[in-house]
Amino acid sequence: MKTAAQISAATAWCRMAPSPIVFVPTMGALHAGHASLIRQARRTAGPKGSVVLSIFVNPTQFGPKEDLSRYPRPFAADRKLCREEGVDLLFHPSPEAMYARDHSVSIHEKSLSSGLCGGSRPGHFDGVCTVVAMLFQIVAPDIAIFGEKDWQQLAVIRRMVRDLRMPVTIKGCRTVREKDGLALSSRNRFLSRENRSMAPRIYQTLKARSMEVAGGEVSVARLRRNLIMDLAAIPGASLDYAEIMHESTLSPLKKLDAKNPARALVAVRFGDVRLIDNMALPTPR
């Protein structure tokens, strides 16, 4: 496995790499969920293609009240996982390498990023879009793999690629969960023992809404009300948002039907730990 910290070295390697180049952008603190993305990338690239993974804790997507310095950076463990999972190039630039001291250009998506996490984290998706576009410029991938756990991010990236005519295919990868249903996240390590025992109820609440739809419920208002009630009842939790939306446009829905694929999206805080999750809802009968 090749490692590169400098943009010039990464770009030179990617220009010579066998195609297809399949790219997995991350912020590090890799876990089993990231490993599943790498395996998907390896399968997609095939025996003759190349898998590139980036680790970059992007400062421009952190808000003023979010502790950038607290974000975990276990680089040695991350590098070991990448090597074991078959990554060909690990790109790990510094903020100084990525951003000029007087950088003044960013990408702003003004529709899909306005609510949900974008509503409670102003400027977050500007930072996400900008850094992903920069990484695409450096790596020039044929395909990029993103996890479905951050569904809004996936939708925003897909829209950016479509609207800016970027020559890369975006593929989503299913959320990986603990045995009790909690979505894997680098933030889980910050949960107290009590909050960790309660956190799986987020998944149980989403599952309950899916079962309601399977049983014939199509009213978004009733589904959302039950979603909010169940999440609010989790001890130690405070609700950031709970919505049921069109899964591609992230627009509100009034009634579920076969023409508008729906997804429940939630964000819940346990103290200063913010967890997100989502689930596709079945097509009504």
Region 214-240: mean pLDDT is: 97
Asked if the structure places residue 33 within a domain, the reply is yes
Beta 169-173 vs 21-26: how paired, if at all? unpaired
Whether residue 204 is found in the same domain as residue 252: yes
Whether residue 157 is found in the same domain as residue 193: no
Distance between CA 284 and CA 244 in Å, rounded? Answer: 14
Whether residue 157 is found in the same domain as residue 203: no
Whether residue 154 is found in the same domain as residue 52: yes
Last residue of a domain, one of 147, 173, 199: 173
Distance between CA 106 and CA 111 in Å, rounded? Answer: 16
CB neighbour class for 97 (10 Å; exposed up to 12, middle 13-18, buried from 19): middle
Tell me the pLDDT band of 156, cut-offs 50, 70 and 90: very high
Predicted confidence at residue 120, as pLDDT, reads 85
* Tens of pLDDT, residues 160-212: 999 999 999 999 999 999 999 999 999 999 999 999 999 999 999 999 999 99
Residue 149 belongs to domain with CATH number: 3.40.50.620
Whether residue 115 is found in the same domain as residue 203: no
Query: Which residue among 31, 34, 103, 246 is the active-site one?
Result: 34
CB neighbour class for 99 (10 Å; exposed up to 12, middle 13-18, buried from 19): middle
The percentage of residues in the chain with a pLDDT greater than 90, rounded to a whole number, is 94
Asked if the structure places residue 150 within a domain, the reply is yes
Last residue of a domain, one of 173, 195, 227: 173
Total tally of structural domains belonging to the chain: 2
Asked if the structure places residue 179 within a domain, the reply is no
* Coil vs helix vs strand at 191: coil
The b/e string for 18-27 (b: 16+ C-beta within 10 A; e otherwise) is: eebbbbbbbb
Tell me the pLDDT band of 285, cut-offs 50, 70 and 90: confident
* Coil vs helix vs strand at 21: strand
Predicted confidence at residue 70, as pLDDT, reads 85
Asked if the structure places residue 180 within a domain, the reply is no
Give catalytic status of residue 31 as yes or no.
no
Comparing CA positions, the residue from 78, 156, 158 lying closest to residue 115 is 156
CA atoms within 13 A on the CB side of 35: 13
Predicted confidence at residue 176, as pLDDT, reads 97
Whether residue 197 is found in the same domain as residue 56: no
Tokens of 105: 């250009």
Asked if the structure places residue 248 within a domain, the reply is yes
Whether residue 160 is found in the same domain as residue 225: no
Residue 199 belongs to domain with CATH number: 3.30.1300.10
Whether residue 141 is found in the same domain as residue 224: no
Asked if the structure places residue 181 within a domain, the reply is no
Predicted confidence at residue 38, as pLDDT, reads 98
Whether residue 234 is found in the same domain as residue 201: yes
Asked if the structure places residue 285 within a domain, the reply is no
Asked if the structure places residue 40 within a domain, the reply is yes
Whether residue 164 is found in the same domain as residue 222: no
Whether residue 71 is found in the same domain as residue 131: yes
Last residue of a domain, one of 106, 139, 173: 173
* Tens of pLDDT, residues 255-281: 999 999 999 999 999 999 999 999 999
Q: Residue 238: give the domain boundaries.
A: 186-280
The b/e string for 62-95 (b: 16+ C-beta within 10 A; e otherwise) is: beeeeeeeebbeeeeebbebbeebebbbbbbbee
Beta 2-4 vs 21-26: how paired, if at all? unpaired
Region 135-152: mean pLDDT is: 98
Whether residue 202 is found in the same domain as residue 253: yes
